[in-house]
Amino acid sequence: MQTPWLWLGFNAGVLVLLALDLLVFHREAHRVRVREAAAWSVFWVVLAVAFAGGLYHFRGSDVALQYLTGYLIEKALSVDNIFVFVLVFSYFQVPPQYQHRVLFWGVLGALVMRGLMIGAGAYLIARFDWVLYVFGAFLVVTGVRLALRTERAIEPEANPVVRLIRRLLPIARAYHGQKFIAHEPTGADGRLRRVATPLLLVLLLVETTDLVFAVDSIPAVFAITTDPFLVYTSNVFAILGLRAMYFLLAHVIHRFHYLKLGLSVILVIVGAKMLAADLYHVPIGLALGAVALVLGVATVASLLFPRRAAAHDPAVPDPPGDRRPEPSGTPGASE
């Protein structure tokens, strides 16, 4: 499972899929409709399940179940990303036709960051057994904090990466199409200066958001399996399907208000499993069933007991007008 060719082959396949996505299916900027998002969601889920079938054939049922459980946990925890994506895109008034581009490059960066984090986690676990207990305690605490957390607000100025970009480059007040970097005239002489577009700030917020969530989700999968290949592949398939899931659920995600509680329960369960590993071995099938049950109950409860609609949804704030970019602008020369 750890051979270099296996890693190279899997990553080469992922790069081919991403290239087809960007250069063929989404070559032109367009608004992703629900039907298209549903088709892509089905495609990524079928591909992830087919990969599980390959693991079952070549490595056996236990390995396939470990991968499926990790994938389901990652898929569930990625719902929290969608909540934040909705807030970020609403705050910056990102035109719908540009949102896929942001998420595409966000996913590519997330794959690199998560790969490095999984490698570091696997190294620590191999060297120090007690790291598993640290991960377990961290997941329990994170689960409890998630259950108690109130609605979050988007504060771009508090993000250190965004502050750094603002120091390095001036920020354009308008979007320049799909460009992250553009040129704008500085004055009457017509000289151009390089500027960061609001789309770059959105991308940085998406990347840092995923980095924060990865700190929770990656230890959760290590609670299921310590095989870095299984942890990595379950993360990759969940992240690849995140874009389509966003476009599918963005307008209805607020209805699943009990999912946050369900996710907190899942984190506590997998954290407790990791802490009790020396006392009792939880069968992987039981862990998979528990995760699926919690998700099912949280989803059904959200639909049966909808939250009262407020006059203004606090999850989509209206920031001051001078901090919100115009949805369109005169295109500048790309960098």
**268 falls within a domain:** yes
**Half-sphere exposure of 239 toward its Cβ, with a 13 Å CA cutoff?**
30
Rounded CA separation 209/204 (Å) = 8
Tell which residue, 229, 226, 231, 218, has the closest CA to residue 2. 229
More confident residue, 24 or 179: 179
pLDDT, mean of residues 196-207 = 89
pLDDT of residue 119: 92
Name the range with the highest mean pLDDT among 42-56, 196-210, 263-277.
42-56
Name the range with the highest mean pLDDT among 100-104, 162-166, 311-315.
100-104
Report DSSP state, residue 307: P
**165 falls within a domain:** no
pLDDT of residue 284: 87
Domain that holds residue 249: 31-152+209-308
pLDDT of residue 187: 66
More confident residue, 324 or 175: 175
Q: Is 194 helix (H, G, I), strand (E, B) or coil?
A: strand
241 burial level (CB within 10 Å; 0-12, 13-18, 19+) = buried
User: pLDDT, tens digit, for every residue of 128-185?
Assistant: 888 889 999 999 998 898 888 766 666 767 778 778 888 888 888 888 888 888 888 8
Token digits of residue 142? 């994170």
Name the range with the highest mean pLDDT among 86-90, 137-141, 173-177, 323-327.
137-141
Rounded CA separation 104/24 (Å) = 13
Whether the CB-CB separation of 82 and 249 falls below 8 Å is answered with yes
**227 falls within a domain:** yes
Strand 192-196 to strand 181-185: parallel, antiparallel, or no bridges (unpaired)?
A: antiparallel
**20 falls within a domain:** no
pLDDT of residue 152: 60
pLDDT, mean of residues 114-134 = 90
148-152, 159-163, 199-203, 289-293: least confident range: 148-152
pLDDT at residue 67 above 70?
A: yes
Q: Which residues are within 8 A (CB) of 181 and not within 5 positions of it... i.e. 6 or more apart? A: 169, 194, 195, 196, 197, 200, 334, 335
**166 falls within a domain:** no
pLDDT of residue 189: 67
User: Domains in the chain: how many in total?
Assistant: 1
Name the range with the highest mean pLDDT among 32-36, 66-70, 310-314.
66-70
pLDDT bucket at 196, cuts 50 / 70 / 90: confident
pLDDT at residue 44 above 90?
A: yes
pLDDT, mean of residues 90-113 = 89
Percent of the chain with pLDDT over 70: 88
**109 falls within a domain:** yes
131-135, 299-303, 322-326: least confident range: 322-326
pLDDT bucket at 297, cuts 50 / 70 / 90: very high
pLDDT of residue 310: 44
pLDDT of residue 153: 61
**173 falls within a domain:** no
pLDDT at residue 195 above 80?
A: yes
**87 falls within a domain:** yes
pLDDT at residue 304 above 50?
A: yes
User: pLDDT, tens digit, for every residue of 248-280?
Assistant: 888 888 888 888 899 999 999 999 988 988 888
Token digits of residue 43? 């495609």
